[in-house]
Amino acid sequence: MELNDLKRRLSLAEDDTSKDDFLQVMLSDAIEMAQDYCNQDFMVDGQLKLPGGVKMAIVKLVKLAQTKPNLQSRSISGGVSETYFTADDLAVIKGDLAPYVKAVFC
């Protein structure tokens, strides 16, 4: 998953580079978290090949990292409201990743 793919999935303009450094760090961290959680590296022929469900979980992790802690939603003048992630969202992300978890036997 590349930065521009993440930006498309987040509905961000690809030519807006103001958050690219942050997004790249978060993307790398989220991929690593998914790999660790799933006990696999998703490498095929030396290239990272993330299934769609894993990509969705990564996008959700990045969104979660952008939210303000202890704030679940807010209303903005003009009738616009925003809803942020809650603690239950981590369970949803784990559910997205569940089909890709490989068992590890010691």
pLDDT tens digits, one per residue of 62-100: 988 877 555 555 556 666 655 556 668 888 999 999 999
Mean pLDDT of the chain: 87
Q: Number of folded domains in the chain? A: 1
Q: Going by DSSP bridges, is the β-strand pair 47-48/43-44 parallel, antiparallel, or unpaired?
A: antiparallel
In a domain, 105, yes or no: no
Beta bridge partners, 80, equal 76
In whole angstroms, give the CA distance from residue 41 to residue 19.
26
At 76 the three-state DSSP class reads strand
In whole angstroms, give the CA distance from residue 42 to residue 44.
7
Cβ neighbours, 10 Å, residue 38:
18
In a domain, 93, yes or no: yes
What local confidence, expressed as pLDDT, does residue 89 receive? 81
What local confidence, expressed as pLDDT, does residue 13 receive? 95
